[in-house]
């Protein structure tokens, strides 16, 4: 057995999270059996995917159709200088597999649209919205509603991150919160803001999958990292939402 293989299966690997309050070996087993779909391996997606990988999620699906650009390197830490021009799913897969060879990582380097999304998400237990565009986010939102699975939504702009846990009909859906897409613009962002917000998405997913803690249902946190003032907003369903008001 190679050293990598023995480390991958070493029961001590997850020791420090198994001793968390309310956790035990069975809690870890819940993660091992889980499938998470991470939409986008950009600024948010690198933080989310890395933290799900080290936590020992059984199956991680990563989706992105972009190639690595030099302007990505200030925040998208799974992609290295040598990867500029490579598919993000390939460089992401390479790095995540090296970090934890004991989990299954499935890559999709194709566009998410109405024709592709259901098959790609498949039987995932939860989806993580790490997209940087609203058409993709809306498609993912509709898929999550159809499948009855939650979606962890996050966004970043400049020094600000925002985060919420959507599980319609219990909570608003993305279209309740954003009935129309904001205009696209070049995103100003500090890498640490993207990374930490993506890590928080992973925390929300891990809490849901293990039944531990309390998810950000009907709440959104707005994190102004320029002052480290965090605000919690109570968010509501749109009674006229075309997607979820009838659920
Ligand atoms: Zn809605």
Reported pTM: 0.97
CA angle (167 as vertex; 161, 173 as ends), nearest 5: 70
Ligand 1 centroid – CA 89 distance (Å): 30
Ligand 1 centroid – CA 245 distance (Å): 6
Q: Residues 12, 195, 151, 167: is their CA dihedral positive or negative?
A: positive
Domains and CATH numbers, the chain: 3-234 (3.40.50.720)
DSSP 8-state secondary structure symbol assigned to residue 158:
B
195-230 burial, b for 16+ CB within 10 Å, e for fewer?
A: bbbbbbbbbbbbbbbbeeeebbbbebbebebeeeee
Ligand 1 centroid – CA 184 distance (Å): 22
Q: What is the pLDDT along the chain (247 residues), one digit of tens a residue?
A: 567 768 888 889 999 999 999 999 999 999 999 999 999 999 999 999 999 999 999 999 999 999 999 999 999 999 999 999 999 999 999 999 999 999 999 999 999 999 999 999 999 999 999 999 999 999 999 999 999 999 999 999 999 999 999 999 999 999 999 999 988 888 999 999 999 999 999 999 999 999 999 999 999 999 999 999 999 999 999 999 999 988 8
Ligand 1 centroid – CA 221 distance (Å): 19
Token pair of 45 as six digits: 């997606």
- Which three-class secondary structure state does DSSP give residue 67? strand
């Amino acid at each position: 057995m190679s050293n990598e293989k023995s480390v991958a299966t070493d029961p001590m690997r997850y020791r420090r999270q198994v001793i968390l309050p309310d956790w035990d070996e069975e809690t870890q087993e819940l993660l091992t059996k889980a499938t998470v779909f991470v939409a986008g391996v950009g600024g948010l997606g690198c933080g989310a995917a890395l933290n799900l990988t080290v936590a020992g999620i059984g199956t991680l699906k990563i989706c992105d159709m972009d190639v690595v650009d030099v302007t990505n390197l200030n925040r998208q830490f799974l992609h290295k200088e040598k990867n500029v021009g490579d598919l993000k799913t390939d460089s992401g897969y390479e790095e995540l597999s090296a970090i934890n060879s004991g989990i299954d990582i499935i890559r999709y380097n194709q566009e998410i649209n109405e024709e592709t999304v259901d098959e790609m998400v498949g039987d995932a237990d939860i989806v993580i919205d790490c997209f940087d565009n609203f058409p993709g986010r809306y498609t993912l939102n509709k898929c999550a509603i159809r499948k009855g699975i939650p979606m962890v939504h996050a966004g970043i702009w400049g020094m600000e991150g925002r985060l919420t846990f959507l599980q319609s009909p219990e909570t608003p859906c993305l279209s309740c919160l954003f009935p129309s897409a904001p205009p696209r613009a070049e995103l100003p962002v500090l890498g640490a803001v993207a990374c930490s917000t993506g890590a928080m998405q992973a925390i929300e997913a891990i809490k849901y999958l293990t039944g531990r803690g309390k998810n950000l249902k009907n709440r959104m946190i707005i994190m102004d990292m320029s002052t480290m003032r965090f605000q919690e907003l109570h968010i509501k369903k749109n009674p006229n939402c075309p997607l979820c008001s009838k659920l």
